[in-house]
Amino acid sequence: MYELILKNISRFIKLTEADESFFISLLKVKKLRKKQVLQQEGQIARYQYFINKGCLRTYMIDDKAQEHIIQFAIEDWWAGDLYSFLTQTPAKLNIGAVETTELLCIDNPALEMLYQKVPKFERFFRLLIQNAYIANQSRIIESMSLTADERYCKFIERYPAMERRLPLKHIASYLGITPESLSRIRSQYKKR
């Protein structure tokens, strides 16, 4: 159950067996059914999540009840509402399972204890946050500067396996277009 998360961490820092055991002791396991909500807007984010199996989507709902997907997270990825988690303020985002999902969760007190007892984890989580910031900034720039066709091509290029796993309406929401527009773009893309 913990092999994937330990492999994920080993890309950035080297752990001893004692470090691994201590880290694992701080984790909680959570399982979600397909379409089950993990976090709702207004709740305070208590955990950061590692996806061991499955897929999550992080999204917001605007005042017209329109859903806007901010990100997806699949196996070997971390997810959570980092702003709410770090500031302990009510979340502006919702998180839900796209598929049956198994998560490994760490809460704020456990994370602080981890930083104290195994300081190299501060480096690990700093690198995770840096990479998330870079990805988020790239996504914002692309959404402002690329056409819908170009955004779709980038999505397929970056996440080739995700298109088969995600409902069309979720991909369209992530790209900021209607499902009808996405259908047209996909059919043109397949003709190329």
Do 161 and 141 fall within a single domain?
no
In this structure, what CATH number is given to the domain that contains residue 124? 2.60.120.10
User: How many independent structural domains does the chain possess?
Assistant: 2
Do 49 and 128 fall within a single domain?
yes
Q: Is the pTM of this model over 0.75?
A: yes
pLDDT digits (tens, 9 = 90+) for 35-62: 999 999 999 999 999 999 999 999 999 9
Please determine, for residue 190, whether its predicted confidence score (pLDDT) is greater than 90.
Answer: no
Cβ neighbours of 121 (radius 10 Å): 22
Q: Residue 132 sits in which domain range?
A: 3-145
Do 60 and 108 fall within a single domain?
yes
pLDDT at 188 (0 to 100):
87
Do 79 and 150 fall within a single domain?
no
Give CA–CA dist 138/132, Å, rounded.
10
pLDDT band of residue 75 (cuts 50, 70, 90) is: very high
Do 128 and 155 fall within a single domain?
no
Do 140 and 164 fall within a single domain?
no
Do 174 and 155 fall within a single domain?
yes
Give CA–CA dist 151/2, Å, rounded.
34
The answer to whether the beta carbons of residues 23 and 110 sit under 8 Å apart is: no
Whole-number mean pLDDT of the chain?
95
Do 35 and 13 fall within a single domain?
yes
pLDDT at 139 (0 to 100):
93
Residue 24, beta-bridge partner list = none
Please determine, for residue 22, whether its predicted confidence score (pLDDT) is greater than 80.
Answer: yes
User: Residue 79 burial by CB count (10 A; 0-12/13-18/19+): exposed, middle or buried?
Assistant: buried
The answer to whether the beta carbons of residues 88 and 109 sit under 8 Å apart is: no
Q: What percent of the chain has pLDDT over 90?
A: 93
pLDDT band of residue 189 (cuts 50, 70, 90) is: confident
